[in-house]
Amino acid sequence: MSGARKHVQVEGEFSMRRGGVLIEPTIAYETWGTLNPARDNAVLIFTGLSPSAHASSCGADTAPGWWEEMIGPDRAIDTERFFVICINSLGSCFGSTGPASIDPVSGEIYRLSFPVVTLEDVAAGGARLLDHLGIDRLRAIVGPSMGGMTALAFEIMFPGRSQGLLVLSSGARALPFSIAMRSLQREMIRRDPDWCNGEYTNDRMPIMGMRLARKLGMITYRSALEWRDRFGRERVAAEHAPDDSFGIDFEIESYLEAHAVKFTGQFDPNCYLYLSRASDLFDVAEHGGSVAAGLSRVQSQKVRVIGVTTDFLFPIEQQRELAQLLDTPGRAADMVELDSIQGHDSFLVDMDRFRPVVAEFFA
Amino acid sequence: MSGARKHVQVEGEFSMRRGGVLIEPTIAYETWGTLNPARDNAVLIFTGLSPSAHASSCGADTAPGWWEEMIGPDRAIDTERFFVICINSLGSCFGSTGPASIDPVSGEIYRLSFPVVTLEDVAAGGARLLDHLGIDRLRAIVGPSMGGMTALAFEIMFPGRSQGLLVLSSGARALPFSIAMRSLQREMIRRDPDWCNGEYTNDRMPIMGMRLARKLGMITYRSALEWRDRFGRERVAAEHAPDDSFGIDFEIESYLEAHAVKFTGQFDPNCYLYLSRASDLFDVAEHGGSVAAGLSRVQSQKVRVIGVTTDFLFPIEQQRELAQLLDTPGRAADMVELDSIQGHDSFLVDMDRFRPVVAEFFA
């Protein structure tokens, strides 16, 4: 049953939380492992802002996934035991309907006519997918980063639909520092003259804005400590051209440039704007008046929150807040603090620390 | 002797550290208090990247200075006791010669033909000013932020020329995280089509690039903790226009916008690029092969290093490194760690914490 990207077309209208309706939107997903006859061994993964549903390789798509070392036979999320589903967020550009998709009503690309996307909409898309797959109750719902906020939204909106909840490097809502960082990334894209208020063409994309945004994104995803150890004040080998007096001097600048160039062209700028804003808008407190009230609606019986001390996009205090408020009578809730040095991105790269604590959750 | 902005024209040629020569450059400065007959009560202040020499008000210029509460009669830097001098950095645009000045050879604005500026050049400008004022030995040299690095450069290049050294929220060299932040600010300006490779006109400045750069600057100058307490997730009163779907939602965005708008037009973009890069290029280790070797050349007998725990542009570890390496036999060196919540900018705004520890240094 393992295979490459699949799609489900949601039946009828899909009402968006902040207004607007999508007609039969598509939700792209991938699965690994086999759904058991009782249909109760499924694990649903929501992603961070930029990944696709390709979390791990499979027979039909052998390219390594974004969480390759985490998902597979005998891995931390064991596909011999679980039917693992990863969903491409609504509003993204890797198969699910988003601002880069064709509006079936107009026949044109949505662009900025796409309704505001919230993480509650992304979570609702996940619920529709489960309906389609005939899965009433999940073994666990898993979400790193933005996916962690989506997982919380799912828990709150569909109480009782999962037995377990695993949130990694996330939080109950965006804090102003993170909002500032993301807002500035969005502005860099919007101020690129080639953005054209979202009406860019494939021939002329807001490449410079995307590159700048990605560089700032990378700065927020890693940590000062990692870079000090890794790059120090190393200079690049080549002096920059005499007519480029503000070109690249340091290895850290070269590293950011390479990441930025790689990212540009992979991700649709409007989709980036929509999902980035969705991260800022999310607030558990909208569900009940306070973070505590919102989290009181979570019904998973087994909860683990994993955080990293060097993460400054979702600081460790935010995971502590989650763990504390979710640690209520009758529930097994715990918190794992990891001292990875790669900051927010640690869940993607520091597998030696993350694998065992994810495996332990599923043991 | 207190008065508004003064200028000194350096005699002859001024050789720049990385090559190039300035012909009789101007150095702008302000002074407060009176030089005593022994000419040994002078205190020299180097500034951060963006301020002018107007550190405090005076009879001729009653506008508040950037360190108004710190400098004056009976204030922490007491102008009844000291002859206080603040210098506008070479390369800046507030009276000292920089990329926005007229090249006396060509008669045109220097722009990118201005030689690379280093903090050693800024320090050498300070020494020339002291020569002009007939001051052989300073009571103390003071520098916050970039000015702290300039003060270190001065100490190393002109050993014995000061009795005391007060470094605030600075470091022996830029770390890769700070380099990344500043490099990205420079790139935002350079990628603005109106920058025109430095050839912008007064009618058409790279305003958008400057605004974006200032926003990122502000993010690095403050702290996540301060913003959480101050702004939380407060929304702005007015909904943004329907045709501006990515406009300002949150108070933190509005705050950054206001600061960015205010800064633009005050600071020349090319000067900003030059001084920003000077901060990245500075490295005490260039003077002797290591930071320790460089700092061993410091001769001030009384040293204080002040740092802030929430500063992530010049993290507290950098001040600890300075204090530790400067604490040698025969010298009174100490370190003050403040838990201000305003991050790097605390030295400008958290006067209740900074005033007493600066006053104590001068007591």
For the cut 80, the answer to whether the pLDDT of residue A242 exceeds it is no
pLDDT at B299: 97
Min Cα–Cα distance to chain A from B202, Å? 20
The number of CA neighbours under 13 Å toward the Cβ of B186 is: 26
Pick the residue from chain A with its C-alpha nearest to B273. Answer: A246
Q: Tokens in use for A288? A: 């009940």
- List, as ranges, residues 225-244 from A with C-beta within 8 Å of B: 227-228, 230-233
State whether B246 and A175 contact (CB < 8 Å): no
Task: Look up B96 and say whether it is catalytic.
Answer: no
Is B21's Cβ below 8 Å from some Cβ in A? Answer: no
* pLDDT surpassing 60 at residue A166: yes
Residues forming a β-bridge with B26:
B9
Specify whether A345 is catalytic.
Answer: no
CA distance B121 to B127: 10
Does B294 share its domain with B160?
yes
Q: Say if CB B98 and CB B125 are below 8 A apart.
A: no
Asked whether residue A214 falls in the same domain as residue A123, the answer is no
| Predicted confidence band of residue A59 (pLDDT cuts 50, 70, 90) | confident
Average pLDDT over residues A293-303: 97
Q: Report how far residue B190's alpha carbon sits from residue B111's, in angstroms, rounded to the nearest whole number.
A: 13
How many Å apart are CA B111 and CA B100, to the nearest integer?
6
Q: Tens of pLDDT along A340-349?
A: 999 999 999 9
Beta-bridge mates of residue A141: A44, A165
Q: Could you say which of A220, A241, A275 is where a domain stops?
A: A275
Q: Which residues of A touch B245 (CB under 8 A)?
A: 112, 116
Lookup result for tokens 């994993």: A306
Q: How many CB atoms lie within 10 A of CB A256?
A: 28
- In 3D space, the residue among A157, A163, A124, A160 whose CA is nearest the CA of residue A140 turns out to be A163
* Burial label, B243 (beta-carbon count in 10 A; 0-12, 13-18, 19+): exposed
Task: Please list, residue by residue across A144-157, b when 16 or more beta carbons sit within 10 angstroms of its beta carbon and e when fewer do.
Answer: bbbbbbbbbbbbbb
Ordered alpha helix ranges (H), chain A: 119-133, 146-157, 176-191, 207-221, 224-230, 251-263, 269-281, 291-295, 316-326, 346-349, 351-362
Q: How far is A172 from chain B (nearest CA, A)?
A: 12
Q: Which of A184, A291, A312 to mutate to test the interface with B (most CBs of B within 10 A)?
A: A184
Nearest residue of B to residue A283, measured between CA atoms: B233
Say whether both A100 and A164 belong to one domain. Answer: yes
Which residue from A181, A212, A250 is facing B188, i.e. has the nearest CB?
A: A212
Give the residues across from A32 on adjacent strands. A84
Q: Which amino acid is at A194?
A: D
Q: Taking a C-beta distance cutoff of 8 angstroms, is the pair A274, A91 a contact?
A: yes
Residue B283 neighbours by CB under 8 Å, 6+ apart? A233, B172, B173, B174, B291
Residues A83, A170 share a domain: yes
> Which listed residue (B57, B121, B268, B344) is catalytic?
B344
Q: Environment class of residue B7 by beta-carbon count within 10 Å: exposed (0-12), middle (13-18) or buried (19+)?
A: middle
Same domain membership, residue A170 and residue A182: no
Given B145, B276, B340, B346, the catalytic residue? B145
Instruction: Select which of B121, B192, B268, B311 is catalytic.
Output: B311
Please give the residue of chain A at the shortest CA–CA distance from B227: A176
Residue B261 in contact with partner chain A when CB distance is under 8 A: no
Answer whether B344 touches A (CB < 8 Å).
Answer: no
Task: Give Dmax (Cα) for chain A.
Answer: 69
Q: Do the strands B77-78 and B71-72 form a parallel or antiparallel pair, or are they unpaired?
A: parallel
Based on the fold, state whether residues A220 and A204 are members of the same structural domain.
yes
Give, in order, the Cα–Cα distances in Å from A343 to each of A28, B314, B347.
29, 18, 27
List the pLDDT tens digit at each of the 363 positions of chain B. Answer: 455 689 898 888 999 999 999 999 999 999 999 999 999 999 999 999 999 999 999 888 899 999 999 999 999 999 999 999 999 999 999 999 999 999 999 999 999 999 999 999 999 999 999 999 999 999 999 999 999 999 999 999 999 999 999 999 999 999 999 999 999 999 999 999 999 999 999 999 999 999 999 999 999 999 999 999 999 999 998 777 766 778 899 999 999 999 999 998 889 999 999 999 999 999 999 999 999 999 999 999 999 999 999 999 999 999 999 999 999 998 999 999 999 999 999 999 999 999 999 999 999
Concatenated DSSP letters for B200-255? Answer: -BTTB--HHHHHHHHHHHHHHHS-HHHHHHHTTTPBPSSPPPTT-TTS--BHHHHH
Residue A170 has which token pair? 């996330």
Measured between CA atoms, how close is A268 to chain B, in angstroms? 16
- A65 and A147, same domain (yes or no): yes
The per-residue pLDDT for B245 is 78
Name all contacts of A208-212 with Cβ < 8 Å and 24+ positions apart: A208/B191, A209/A269, A210/A260, A210/A263, A210/A264, A210/A267, A210/A269, A210/A272, A211/A257, A211/A260, A211/A261, A211/A263, A211/A264, A212/A185, A212/A188, A212/A260, A212/B184, A212/B187, A212/B188, A212/B191, A212/B212
Residues of B in contact with A181 (CB under 8 A): 219
Average pLDDT over residues A196-221: 96
User: Are B43 and B92 found together in one domain?
Assistant: yes
Q: Are residues A160 and A188 in the same domain?
A: no
Find residue B106's DSSP bridge partners.
none
Same domain, A240 and A263: yes
Q: What angle do CA B52, B58, B61 make, to 5 degrees?
A: 65
Among the listed residues A89, A96, A145, A169, the single catalytic one is: A145
Structure tokens at A294: 């919102």
pLDDT for B1 equals 45
Q: Distance between CA atoms of A179 and B328, rounded to whole angstroms?
A: 44
Domain of residue B330, CATH code: 3.40.50.1820
CA–CA dist A134, A153 (Å, integer): 21
For chain B, say whether A252 makes contact (Cβ under 8 Å).
yes
Domain end point (choices B275, B298, B324): B275
Q: Which two tokens stand for residue B313?
A: 């542009």
- Specify whether the backbone of B8 is left (phi greater than 0), alpha (psi in -120 to 50) or beta: beta
Task: Please give the residue range of the domain that contains residue A14.
Answer: 3-174+283-362
Active site includes B145? Answer: yes
Domain stops at, among B257, B275, B293? B275
> Cβ of B283 and A215 within 8 Å?
no
Sign of CA dihedral A221, A216, A246, B322: negative
> Residue B232's closest chain A neighbor by CA?
A176
Cα–Cα distance, A226 to A252 (Å, whole number): 11
Does the pLDDT value for residue A2 go beyond 60?
A: no
- Distance (Å) from the alpha carbon of B96 to chain A's nearest alpha carbon: 21
Which residues in chain B have Cβ-Cβ distances shorter than 8 Å to A176? 224, 227-228, 230-233, 250-252
Please name the residue of chain B whose CA is at the shortest distance from the CA of residue A116.
B245
Mean pLDDT is lowest, of A86-90, A264-268, A308-312, A357-361, for A264-268
Backbone angles phi, psi at A70, to 5 degrees: -95, -30
Q: Are B207 and B136 found together in one domain? A: no
Q: Are B237 and B205 in a shared domain?
A: yes
Are the Cβ atoms of B228 and A187 closer than 8 angstroms? no
The number of distinct structural domains making up chain B is 2
Which chain A residues touch B215 with a CB distance below 8 Å?
Answer: 180, 184, 187
User: How far apart are alpha carbons A2 and A73 in whole angstroms?
Assistant: 11
CATH number at B231 reads: 1.10.1740.110
**Does residue A120 register a pLDDT over 80?**
yes
Q: Is B219 close to A184, i.e. CB distance below 8 A? A: yes
Mutate which: B219, B261, B311, vs A, most A CBs within 10 A:
B219
